[in-house]
Amino acid sequence: MTRPVSPSAPELVATEKRPPTSRRDGRGGRVNGEEGSERSARLSLDALTVRIPVRRDAVVHAVTDVSLDITAGEITALVGESGCGKSIVASAVMGVLPPEAVITGSVRLLPGDAGSAHPSVEPLDILRDHRPYRGRHIALIPQSPSTYFTPVRTVGSQLSETISALGTAHTAVELVERAGLSAAALDLYPHELSGGMAQRAAVAAALAGDPEVIIADEPTSGLDRARTDQIGELLRECADRGAAVLLITHDLGHLIRAGIADTVAVMYASRLMEVGPAADVLDDPWHDYTRDLLAALPERGLRPLPHPPRELTNLSEHCPYAGGPTQLIARLPRMIRSRRS
């Protein structure tokens, strides 16, 4: 059945030879930052694009035209295959990309009540200078926490130093206990931590500055199911306390099982394919790629994706998931799902 789209001028896109209404994605719109939302955006990505030059004049199209709002009190899950650009989004936001990377678009931080209908604080363009905002306003839970800490100092000494640098009233004991660790973990060196303990220690470090935005980059990678669920519960608790959480993951099974995400954004070959309320996207996907990605889960048939991964140095301006012979067709701009009232 054809789904309605907002009337607008048609555009040309590349697609497979099938009805154009079979594809939808999240380009150019928003879900969790829409006008009239009960919650306010804390981090706003607008047409974020990252290009990374490599040898022989090739350019990696790492991120293309990503627009997304990360909303206070909610978890926004950015999902997709490895290499699609999810972690590059996090690196661009945190300002840790290599100097040769070319970044366009905007990333705005809306502190305090800046995301309300009548903000008293101007949005901050953090692409100009990330340093004043890292830790205090926005924090990263890294993908490899065991390498995040200095190996020759205890976890406790590093947490205490972080708290002192950020000027908050927290204690190291308070933070690790909030993250689900015992105070005894403070006396351990990073190499003495298990994967789950290291991940929770990284969560504790991220909470030291009371950040309004938390970016968790593959925080459950390599963890067993029990530890994965624990980290998910910690992130859900952070969101329930008012933080805006961006969860970057390829573990769709965990999202479905735990139900911790409020919004899901699906990424493929540097672009957003589909964005919407988590239950809608995971239960009734609109885009071909989202359907194929879910069908590849073991519990849904373990069907391999029909198209090989795209080479990010050779992408057109059209839908990158159109496989086989393509043609240009006119169709209405792709729509983002709105949250139901």
**CA–CA separation, 274 vs 244, rounded Å?**
20
Model pLDDT, residue 11: 38
Secondary structure of residue 69 in the 3-state scheme: strand
Tell me the pairing of strands 75-79 and 138-141.
unpaired
The Cα–Cα gap between 26 and 275 comes to: 5
| Angle, CA 158 vertex, CA 150 and CA 73 arms, to 5° | 110
- Listed residue (136, 132, 190) closest to 158, CA to CA: 190
pLDDT the model gives residue 39: 63
User: Which residues does 328 contact at the CB level (< 8 Å), separation at least 6?
Assistant: 12, 13, 14, 318
Tokens read off for 54: 């490599």
H/E element holding 140? strand 138-141
* Cross-sheet strand order for the sheet of 124-125: 59-71, 41-53, 102-109, 124-125
Q: How far apart are CA 3 and CA 14, in angstroms?
A: 20
Query: Domain residues of the chain, as ranges?
Result: 38-137+211-331
What lies within 8 Å, CB to CB, of 98 at 6+ separation is 52
In 3-state terms the chain splits into helix, strand, coil percentages (rounded to 5) of: 30, 25, 50
Closest CA to 115 of 158, 70, 50: 70
Profile the chain (341 residues) by mean pLDDT over runs of 10 residues.
35 34 35 48 94 87 94 96 93 93 94 52 81 88 86 96 93 93 96 90 92 93 84 93 95 93 94 93 91 89 79 75 44 44 39
For position 93, what pLDDT does the model report?
95
**What would the two tokens of residue 157 be?**
């000494």
**Do residues 178 and 148 make contact, with C-beta atoms less than 8 angstroms apart?**
no
Q: Does this model's pTM top 0.75?
A: yes
Q: How far apart are CA 186 and CA 175, in angstroms?
A: 10
Element (H, E) at 70: strand 59-71
Q: How confident is the model at residue 147, as a pLDDT?
A: 78
231, 200 Cβ separation under 8 angstroms: yes
Beta-ladder partners of 61: 51
Q: If one looks up domain 38-137+211-331 in CATH, what number appears? A: 3.40.50.300
